Structure 1
Amino acid sequence: MTETSSYLETTAGAYDAVAVLYADLVRDSLDGLPLDRAVLAAFAELAPGGGPVAELGCGPGYLTAHLRGLGLDVFGIDLSPVMIGLAREAYPDLRFEVGSMDALDLADGTLHGIVSWYSVIHTPPRHLPSYFSEFRRVLAPDGHLLLGFFESEGGPITTFDHKVTTAYRWPIDDLAELAGKAGFTEVGRMLREPGEGERFRRGHLLLRKG
């Protein structure tokens, strides 16, 4: 087993094990987060041409459904088969597929937008450049990428005790630089302080395929 397949299998298995509890926890999580909703709305407005958008790491599908409500032609992909089953059950009129963000079963230039909402957080930092390369491959010219992640608040890249499996906090400048090296141009960013029940600052980067 390679290192890549090992951490992917670990992540998928961890989310399979907590899928029902996780789905109940996050179902209404956007309701009290106006800044997060504003970032998603900006992405929806910028995604060009009305073409397909993928939420990568969609979990139980609540955010995919939110993006559909913003007028996007959206579908979801996730590593966890149990999560995908829950998403299909909850939103039968939306498309959900099992898959990995680092090897998407999509043709070059297929997507007009990608949302990765707290889904690259489990990727070991040395592997993240290959994810950005894959995102760029499947995006159409001028396609947009929205990243949500835990920000390291001025510190280095650090691991933390995520409730599901190992995760990483990133300095927003470092993550933006890494995306830039993969061929993305920053459009905007948003940092917000932890809300009630949250431990860490949240980072959001809106990027365009260069």
Structure 2
Amino acid sequence: MTDYTDVRHAYDTVAADYAERLPDTRAETALDLAMVDAFASAVLADATEASTAPVLDAGCGAGRMSAYLAARGVAVRGVDLSPGMVAMARRDHPELDFAVGSLDDLPCGDSEFAGVMLWYSIIHTPPPGLDRVLAEAVRVLRPGGHLLVGFQSGTGTRDVAPAYRRLGHEVHLERQLYSADEVASRLAAVGVHEVARLVRRATADERDDQAVVLARRT
């Protein structure tokens, strides 16, 4: 299993600043949100009512995307590695359900969810650990369920600690870049097949291109 000690410590350290500076979807473009909307619509289209189609926001952070999904009628539950981030999520979105848990060992039952969203949640998992994370997402996803994965597009590793040092936080944090082809291929290997993808150029202060893959469990 991947050692996420540095990741957990980093997000516990920056949780309050993160929640203050990124309380909503201001970091997303209209294209990004269109993919999230398509995911939510696909989940709801298969349900007789929202409560019968629960969605897991895996790697929910401070809960901003959980709130976005809930506003679209989705019954959402959030899970995050960082207790500090979960505390912010519970503070800012008390109407929603959040729990602490790791992406490679989700505290959820088999086939529990009609949809799973990994919104920039795989970015701190190095390639050797990615298959386990994706397999866990599939384990908790019902047959026919929908999976959405958002991430920075490319190859290699970025050191993102300097951005937090400018806010006064001394942390160690790196993120991984993956191509849409690689993520789609790894998803197929664990029984989830691509429905659509978005790859867009970097905008504003973004350093890398962005990618989103929408898939469905067969």
Tell whether the structures are fold-level matches, with TM greater than 0.5: yes
Counterpart of 2:116 (choices 107, 114, 117) is: 114
Aligned residues: 202
Quote the residue 2:169 is aligned against: none
**Any idea what the Cα deviations from partners look like across 1:20-59, whole Å, max 9, x if unmatched?**
1111222134376111111110000101323110101111
Quote the residue 1:15 is aligned against: 11
Whole-angstrom distance in 2 between the partners of 1:87 and 1:107: 22
Whole-angstrom distance in 2 between the partners of 1:209 and 1:178: 13
Quote the residue 1:30 is aligned against: 26
**Any idea what the Cα deviations from partners look like across 1:51-109, whole Å, max 9, x if unmatched?**
11010111110110000001100010001001101110101110000011111122211
AA in 2 matched with 1:182: V
AA in 1 matched with 2:18: Y
Give the conservation status (yes or no) of the 8 Å contact 2:25–2:65.
no
AA in 2 matched with 1:77: V
- Report SS of the residue matched to 2:65: helix
- Report SS of the residue matched to 1:127: helix
| 1:82 matches 2:79 | no
- Report SS of the residue matched to 2:36: helix
Quote the residue 1:203 is aligned against: 211
Quote the residue 2:137 is aligned against: 135
Map 1:50-199 → 2, pairs under 5 A:
50=50, 51-152=53-154, 157-163=155-161, 165-199=173-207
AA in 2 matched with 1:44: A
Give the conservation status (yes or no) of the 8 Å contact 2:24–2:65.
no
Backbone CA RMSD of aligned residues:
1.4
Quote the residue 1:45 is aligned against: 41
Give the conservation status (yes or no) of the 8 Å contact 2:103–2:136.
yes
Q: Which runs of 4+ in 1 moved over 2 A?
A: 28-32
- Report SS of the residue matched to 1:107: coil
AA in 2 matched with 1:21: D
Whole-angstrom distance in 2 between the partners of 1:209 and 1:72: 19
- Report SS of the residue matched to 1:174: helix
Give the conservation status (yes or no) of the 8 Å contact 2:58–2:118.
yes
Q: TM-score, normalized by length of structure 2? A: 0.89
Give the conservation status (yes or no) of the 8 Å contact 2:80–2:102.
yes
Between the two proteins, what is the percent identity of the paired residues? 38
User: Is there any run of 5+ residues in structure 2 with no aligned partner, and where?
Assistant: 165-172
User: Is there any run of 5+ residues in structure 1 with no aligned partner, and where?
Assistant: none
